[in-house]
Amino acid sequence: MTSIAAAGTFRLGDRMVNRMGYGAMQLAGSGAFGPPKDRAEAIAVLREAVAAGVNHIDTSDYYGPYVVNQIIREALHPYPRDLTIVTKVGARRGDDASWLPAQSPADLTAAVHDNLRNLGLDVLDVVNFRVMGSGMGRAEGSIAEQFSTLAKLREQGLIRHLGISNATSAQIAEGRAIGDVICVQNFYNLAHREDDAMIGELAAQGIAYVPFFPLGGFSPLQSDTLSAEAKKLAATPMQVALAWLLKRAPNILLIPGTSSRAHLRENLAAATLQLSDKVVARLNTIGG
């Protein structure tokens, strides 16, 4: 089994986590809606990930909705002591699988309690507030009311740590003025690098940066340069893309997702893939 220790660790709140983690979104049905085609395989994926050393799992109760968290509970509860489960609030799913804002204080409070119940926890390790924009875009504006609501729930002992997802630099600063922000989860990968400067700023502050859709998301990364470099390294393009992220900055934590054990093994193997500075320089020409 692949050792993910080669990717190193980073402090997430009060715990050290392996930088190679796992994103659970794909354990639901198509478009993260409804039940999986193969629930037994979904459970097996989670158990194999943890057995391989993954101790950082990203999820949300709006995956399914509720389905993914219930599968995590079935597969892993009682949880290993070193496992950190990070969830998100701020959205809900429509009956047509649409993604809808759910950002009032009442919505956020209900979402925290839903996550606690479906995960079988008394306290959530980390809760990210998901700022809702258009598609993968970010929405400007204050998050003070929403983040203050989550900070109060933290004071009540329902949440250990707070983070922000899909946020601008101004929103991160606003959140930090209200309560400690231990992680930022934004859209970032080899081809989409809007947050290049932000990553360095967060690293200097000891804040984790967790790219969502690290392999492109619903439209997987495609690049002749990426394919050529992968061929030279006897690796897959997606493994090279993950290895590039690990080399990009020490505060980057990866959460590639999959519903297949074979694909999980492929993703985890990226932890041991070493990229030379020359390879990185060529890969850097892909995006910006």
Domain boundaries, the chain: 12-283
Helices (H), the chain: 39-51, 67-76, 105-119, 144-155, 169-178, 196-204, 224-232, 237-248, 261-269, 277-283
pLDDT of residue 33: 97
How many other CB atoms are there within 10 angstroms of residue 174's CB atom? 18
Q: Among the options 63, 79, 188, 209, which is catalytic? A: 63
| pLDDT of the residue at 1 | 46
> Which has the higher per-residue pLDDT, 138 or 131?
131
Mean pLDDT rounded to a whole number for the chain: 95
Res. 153: pLDDT tops 90 = yes
Write out pLDDT tens, residues 74-96: 999 999 999 999 999 999 999 99
Look up the CATH number of domain 12-283: 3.20.20.100
Q: How many CA atoms lie within 13 A of 98 on its CB side?
A: 7
- Mean pLDDT across 52-68: 98
The rounded distance, in Å, linking the Cα atoms of 251 and 236 is: 24
**pLDDT value at 2 more than 80:** no
Active site residue 63: yes
- Quote the pLDDT of residue 215: 87
What is the phi-psi region of residue 93: left when phi exceeds 0, alpha when psi lies from -120 to 50, beta otherwise?
Answer: beta
Is the pLDDT reported for residue 37 higher than 70?
yes
Q: Judge whether residue 217 has pLDDT over 80.
A: no
